[in-house]
Amino acid sequence: MMSTGLGASNKERSLPLATALPGTPQWLAVRNDRMVLELLFAHGILSRNQISELSGLSKPTASQIVTRLKSADLVHVTGKAVGGRGPNAVLHAVNNDLVKGVAVDMGPEFIRSTVVDAIGSEYPVAEIPAPSRRVSRDAVAEVKAAIEAACDLAQIGRNAVSAVCLGVQGSVNARSDTLHFANTFEGWPAQGARSLIEAELGCRVYIENDVNLAAIAERSEGAVRGTESFVLFWLGQGLGVAVYAGGEIQRGAAGGAGEIGYLPVPRIAAFDNPGAIDMQSLLGGLAVASIARENGLSGETYFDLLRTAGSSGNEAARELIVGDLIPQITHGVIPILALLDPERIVLGGPTAHLGGDLLAQGVRDRISVTTRWGTPDIVATSVQGHPVLRGAYYFLLAELREQLCKRVRVSAG
């Protein structure tokens, strides 16, 4: 059972009560029904007596709520408790067949996808090659293929999918349904991609910046679990910053917050990389690949070189790469400290994953001895697997639960 600590905030994922006036019997019924449903999300399987104890409701009231939720097909009986005195208690759980979604990471090398359900089950991850940069891409065909691959592995029908969350490299303006800086998605419409995919697939579609999703994963299961103010500095083929403050991801007026790759490098960075013009040319995939090659590694692409550096027997080269990266990453961290002063900075993405704690410690030490910022709290990512996909998973987990909670209004009405 996955943790119920969702990456999206209460402000972003609030589950509205019925429109009945507060204090009326209908309002109270909806409130109590939703509370019980959320207890079942959190605990998985409960008896009526356990629901009464956890909710503070009387046993008769808890029994009435369970009956209503069963009548609405939101809850079903899973069996009986074993042991104990007296009759074995009947156990209840959320009906997991009502809604399902698919989380998708539209990555630069692979498109990864997995099924998500409202109780937080884990399904296998499907992986298909991403289209070449040399071809025009088809948004609908790619998303459809990702959904079908995930559903086939999970052995569920495509028709069961009611929502999809896509993580993309680029900024997303959800209000205008616009993609910006999405250079790797040549062929996707800059305007109306979400509406197009929704219309073709017949399900709800969410498109989110990949680094924002990685930050949701980091807060849900990673290095900043429960932290109220943090920044994720993503170091990969491209760069990005996700800002979590005030209980939610800060996306900016047009979804472009955190596009640090376009920030000009400070003059002092010329000592470390004279050819760098912006942060992308200082710290992006091409710059890291160049550093790896200078330290004796070979590989055709940035990702090939990272895999080589991370393989056994290359510890010395990896330490040299990290040493060369520390001063350059420091140039990217200092503006974050100056503008945001976050509680914690997480170094994430493929480059940071390669460097791990050694890289985070090195950046922290360099800042503490060379700048006025003291010793900031800088840590390496601790999300295992595919962080963008994990963030899309948590995003959809909240959405699917919201869908079920909205049905409470009908059952209690």
Q: Report the SS3 class of residue 104.
A: strand
Closest CA to 40 of 102, 97, 98, 91: 91
DSSP string for 353-400: HHHHHHHHHHHHHHHHHHSSS-S--EEE----S-HHHHHHHHHHHHHH
pLDDT, mean of residues 379-402: 95
DSSP string for 303-317: HHHHHHHHSTT-HHH
Q: What is the pLDDT of residue 132?
A: 80
Is 46 exposed, middle or buried, given 0-12, 13-18 or 19+ CB atoms closer than 10 A? buried
Q: In whole angstroms, give the CA distance from residue 32 to residue 65.
A: 7
Q: Name the more confident of 21 and 375.
A: 375
Q: How confident is the model at residue 85 (pLDDT cuts 50, 70, 90)?
A: low
Q: 8-12, 25-29, 332-336, 342-346: which has the minimum mean pLDDT?
A: 8-12
- Residue 235, H or E segment: strand 230-235
Q: What is the pLDDT of residue 13?
A: 40
Q: Which residue has the tokens 């009464």?
A: 52
pLDDT, mean of residues 186-197: 92
- Residue 168, H or E segment: strand 161-168
pLDDT, mean of residues 52-77: 90
Percent with pLDDT over 70 in the chain: 92
Q: How confident is the model at residue 98 (pLDDT cuts 50, 70, 90)?
A: confident
Q: What is the pLDDT of residue 268?
A: 83
Q: What is the pLDDT of residue 253?
A: 86
Q: What is the pLDDT of residue 372?
A: 81
Q: What is the pLDDT of residue 377?
A: 94
Q: What is the pLDDT of residue 84?
A: 55
Answer whether residue 135 shows pLDDT above 60.
yes
Q: Which residue has the tokens 């003291």?
A: 374
Q: What is the pLDDT of residue 331?
A: 92
- Residue 38, H or E segment: helix 25-43
Q: Which residue has the tokens 């009548």?
A: 71
Q: What is the pLDDT of residue 185?
A: 86
Q: What is the pLDDT of residues 139-156, one digit of tens each?
A: 999 999 999 999 999 999
The per-residue b/e assignment along 113-131, b for 16 or more CB within 10 angstroms, e otherwise, is bbbbbbbbeebebbbeebb
Q: Name the more confident of 8 and 287.
A: 287
Answer whether residue 352 shows pLDDT above 50.
yes
- Residue 68, H or E segment: helix 59-71
Answer whether residue 186 shows pLDDT above 80.
yes
Answer whether residue 14 shows pLDDT above 60.
no
Mean pLDDT rounded to a whole number for the chain = 88
Answer whether residue 406 shows pLDDT above 90.
no
pLDDT, mean of residues 394-406: 91
Q: 85-99, 123-137, 238-252: which has the minimum mean pLDDT?
A: 85-99
Model pTM score: 0.88
Non-local (6+) Cβ contacts of 57 within 8 A are 32, 36, 51, 65
Closest CA to 10 of 212, 215, 247: 247
pLDDT, mean of residues 382-403: 94
Closest CA to 123 of 104, 141, 106, 142: 104
Q: What is the pLDDT of residues 249-286, one digit of tens each?
A: 999 888 888 899 989 988 888 777 888 899 999 999 99
Q: What is the pLDDT of residue 336?
A: 93
pLDDT, mean of residues 202-216: 96
Q: What is the pLDDT of residue 21?
A: 56
Q: What is the pLDDT of residue 11?
A: 38
pLDDT, mean of residues 310-330: 92
Cβ atoms of 74 and 64 within 8 Å: the answer is no
